[in-house]
């Protein structure tokens, strides 16, 4: 059984990971595009939630015009994948906030008891000052 604070921490780490890591492995094949000569990439989802769409005709023309390998381009599915990653990160963030709030509320009494004990630990119960 995981504690609420552990789940909240894992959700927040997952949010950061999902939002900051672009998907880099693509196995999708397109007609007229040789995946062996292409270096597909995607921008980070947090910085580009909806990247510009890729013109496959321009990619095909660049492949035909040059023999240089590999040719770098954003993947045509980045637009959908980045949006999906953004939504998954938002769900994970919401889960982290919710579990963190549950943990904070469940430990409120213990924190108040510690604060009360700390404030009253140095008093002896005897009057001080002008009442001596």
What is the pLDDT confidence band of residue 87, given thresholds at 50, 70 and 90?
very high
Length of the chain as a residue count: 132
Type and span of the H or E element at 24: none
What is the pLDDT confidence band of residue 126, given thresholds at 50, 70 and 90?
low
On whether the pTM is more than 0.85, the answer is no
What value does the mean pLDDT of the chain take?
86
Asked if omega into 70 is within 30° of 0 (cis), the reply is yes
- Alpha-helix runs per DSSP H in 1-132: 4-20, 56-65, 78-106, 108-120
Task: Answer whether residue 40 shows pLDDT above 90.
Answer: no
Q: Mean pLDDT, to the nearest integer, of 97-106?
A: 94
Q: How far apart are CA 63 and CA 50, in angstroms?
A: 25
Mode of pairing for the β-strands spanning 71-74 and 38-41: parallel
Distance, CA of 46 to chain centre: 8
Q: Mean pLDDT, to the nearest integer, of 86-109?
A: 94
Q: Mean pLDDT, to the nearest integer, of 63-73?
A: 84
What was the pLDDT predicted at 129?
64
């Amino acid at each position: 059984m995981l504690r609420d604070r552990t789940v909240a921490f894992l959700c927040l780490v997952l949010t950061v990971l999902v939002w900051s890591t672009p998907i880099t492995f693509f196995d999708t094949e397109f007609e007229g595009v040789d995946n062996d000569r292409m270096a597909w990439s995607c921008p980070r989802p947090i910085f580009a939630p909806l990247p510009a769409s890729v013109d496959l005709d321009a990619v095909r023309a660049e492949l035909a015009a040059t023999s240089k390998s590999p040719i770098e381009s954003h993947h045509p599915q980045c637009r959908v994948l980045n949006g999906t990653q953004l939504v998954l990160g938002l769900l994970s963030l919401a889960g982290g906030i919710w579990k963190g709030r549950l943990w904070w509320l469940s430990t409120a009494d213990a924190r108040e008891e510690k604060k009360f004990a700390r404030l009253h630990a140095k008093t002896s119960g005897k009057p001080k000052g002008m009442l001596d």
